[in-house]
């Protein structure tokens, strides 16, 4: 039984190669080469997730919630008027917090309440994102936490990267097999580690959250750009 052990790095991709040995079926001698490869593909996103909401204050908890609900109802009416279905809107944060006043030598005193309602809105028409934000701000939204550009079908978005990673592994296997005086045979196994994390939300004004002015810049330019999709595979080849 022969053993091949080898390793390499390819730039920032950190492509590592190793060799393993195994006994084939029926006692046959077989040399196996394990290759790890990573590939990155760029693609234009087709889905925007806008996270925004309403923050309202009141002297009492009930007053704060009523003020928030009134503004949020107007915001949701603007969302529906923009053609976004209710199934594409999800509440991601709902909170009621007391506000305190502090005076020297005296205990903290509740001076009012803050009510917050935040929703995530999925928009497939990326050209309508800016207008939708303008409409919701005009009707009461005063907090924008960010915009995330992503893919409606993340699995399909990764398919190109997966194919490229396998082809990269095959090319490297062929190079090492040639150097060893052998040829690449069948694929014994393919394994894939965990997927890459989702894209980070796009910060607004350099932050990931914050209050909005009562007026918004009409049709502010928003650029979806392109997202990287990454795939890593370990492919075991039989050498001949």
Which pLDDT belongs to residue 219?
61
pLDDT tens digit sequence for 2-32: 433 333 333 333 333 343 333 333 345 778 9
Q: How far apart are the first and last CA of the chain?
A: 13
Tell me the pLDDT band of 140, cut-offs 50, 70 and 90: very high
Which pLDDT belongs to residue 125?
94
Short-list 198, 212, 191, 68, CA closest to 135: 212
Which pLDDT belongs to residue 226?
84
Which pLDDT belongs to residue 81?
95
Q: Are 113 and 63 in contact (CB under 8 A)?
A: yes
- Residue 214 in 3-state DSSP? coil
**Mean pLDDT for the chain?**
81
Which pLDDT belongs to residue 85?
94
- As a 3-state breakdown, the chain gives helix, strand, coil percent values, each rounded to 5, of 30, 40, 30
Q: Where are the domains of the chain?
A: 11-41+154-196+230-239, 47-150
Q: What is the mean pLDDT of the segment spanning 193-200?
A: 51
Run of H or E including 118? strand 106-123
Give, as one character, the DSSP assignment of residue 39. E
Strand order in the sheet with 106-123: 89-103, 106-123, 47-58, 143-150
Half-sphere exposure of 82 (CA within 13 A, CB side): 27
Which pLDDT belongs to residue 16?
35
The answer to whether domain 47-150 has CATH 3.30.1330.10 is no
**Is the pLDDT higher at 235 or at 202?**
235
Quick one: what percent of the chain has pLDDT higher than 70? 76
Short-list 134, 121, 48, CA closest to 89: 121
CATH number of 11-41+154-196+230-239: 3.30.110
Q: What is the mean pLDDT of the segment spanning 109-134?
A: 95
Cα–Cα distance between 103 and 80 in angstroms, integer?
46
Q: What is the mean pLDDT of the segment spanning 56-66?
A: 96
Q: Is the pTM of this model over 0.85?
A: no
Which pLDDT belongs to residue 220?
62
Short-list 86, 93, 111, CA closest to 55: 93
């Amino acid at each position: 039984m022969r053993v091949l052990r080898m390793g390499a790095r390819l730039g920032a991709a950190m492509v590592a190669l190793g060799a393993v040995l195994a006994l084939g079926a029926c006692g046959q001698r077989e040399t196996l080469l394990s290759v790890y490869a990573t590939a990155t593909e760029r693609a234009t996103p087709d889905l925007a997730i806008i996270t925004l909401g309403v923050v309202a204050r009141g002297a009492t908890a009930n007053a704060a919630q009523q003020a928030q609900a009134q503004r949020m109802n107007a915001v949701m009416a603007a969302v529906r008027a923009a053609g976004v279905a209710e199934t594409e809107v999800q509440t991601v944060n709902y909170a009621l917090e007391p506000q305190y006043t502090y005076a020297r030598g005296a205990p903290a005193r509740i001076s009012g309440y803050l009510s917050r309602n935040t929703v995530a809105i999925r928009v497939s028409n990326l050209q309508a994102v800016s207008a939708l934000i303008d409409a919701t701000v005009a009707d009461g939204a005063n907090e924008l936490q960010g915009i995330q550009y992503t893919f409606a079908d993340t699995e399909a978005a990764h398919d190109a990267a997966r194919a490229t990673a396998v082809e990269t592994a095959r090319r490297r296997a062929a190079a090492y097999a040639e150097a060893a005086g052998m040829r690449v045979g069948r694929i014994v196994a393919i394994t894939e580690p965990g997927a890459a994390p989702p894209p980070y939300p796009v910060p607004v004004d350099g932050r990931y959250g914050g209050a909005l002015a009562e007026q918004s810049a009409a049709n502010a330019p928003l650029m979806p750009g392109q997202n990287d999709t990454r795939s890593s595979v370990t492919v075991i080849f039989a050498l001949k």
